[in-house]
Structure 1
Amino acid sequence: MSQITTHILDTSRGEPAVDVTIFLYQYQNNEWEAIGGGATNEDGRLPDMVGDDVSLQEGTYKLKFATEEYYEGLGINTFFPFVEVVFYLMPGENYHIPLLLSPYGYSTYRGS
């Protein structure tokens, strides 16, 4: 079974981004369906965003990171109210999708 994990590093602070809400969507029938999510832990990680009852199938998925909420909590203005990362999942593979974040920029990649 495939698994999707993520972590966020706030590069402007040099620390993990704690308590960032993340939503996981699957693209089905020409619309996005919410299938999981959660909030990052003290290490900026969300290791398991779907329950045992959800089986990830081949297809298109999206992670939506609630970055504005995070920076508002720190009293910092941000240019991005949220960050969306869309990717294609192949069956049987695990996906780690990190987010390197600052108030005015971000980058992501497929990690291991």
Structure 2
Amino acid sequence: MSTDTTATVSTHVLDTSVGRPAASVPVRVSTRADATAGWTPLGGSLTDPDGRCADLPALPEDAAQVRLEFDTGAYSAQEKGSSAAGPMEGGAFFPEVAIVFTVRPGEHHHVPLLLSPFGYSVYRGS
């Protein structure tokens, strides 16, 4: 839950190549207080069967920018072994997707990742 001074973040991952959520994608969260500061790792989570991360770490009050790192290579390797591997079975063209965005105090920031074998898209959701 956000307060007047703390931003919150959430994400989910959808595999558009097979038309379903991407489960068990490792996601790491880092923050920094401004564009010149170094990144502070906060921890991470795995996406659930619906492609969502229910337990991402809370952001510190001074967070101005957030970096979400998605281990799409691990997801690709997992899918390679499944019967529904689809076009990802040759390995991930993008083994990692890192998204950096600005947060505002007191606001919630939902940033979904739409993943396909040779591309991805992100947006600010609600």
Instruction: Tell me, yes or no, whether TM beats 0.5.
Output: yes
Q: What's 1:59 paired with?
A: 64
Aligned length: 110
**Aligned-partner Cα distance in 1 for 2:63–2:42:** 14
The structure 2 residue matched to 1:40, chosen from 43, 47, 52, is: 47
Query: Per-residue CA shift, 1:72-107, capped at 9, x if unaligned?
Result: 111121210100000001100001000000111000
TM-score by length of 2: 0.81
State whether structure 2 residue 21 is matched by structure 1 residue 20: no
Tell whether the 8 Å contact from 2:32 to 2:63 is kept in structure 1 after alignment: no
Q: Which runs of 5+ in 2 are unaligned?
A: 81-88
Q: Which runs of 5+ in 1 are unaligned?
A: none
Q: What's 2:8 paired with?
A: 3
Residue type at the aligned position of 1:80: F
Identity %: 41
Query: Per-residue CA shift, 1:33-57, capped at 9, x if unaligned?
Result: 1113100001000133015xx5343
List structure 1 runs of 4+ shifted beyond 6 angstroms.
Answer: none
State whether structure 2 residue 114 is matched by structure 1 residue 109: no
**Greater strand proportion:** 1
Query: Per-residue CA shift, 1:12-70, capped at 9, x if unaligned?
Result: 0101000000000012563211113100001000133015xx53434111000000010
**Aligned-partner Cα distance in 2 for 1:12–1:70:** 13
Larger Rg: 2
Shift of 1:3: 1.5
TM-score by length of 1: 0.90
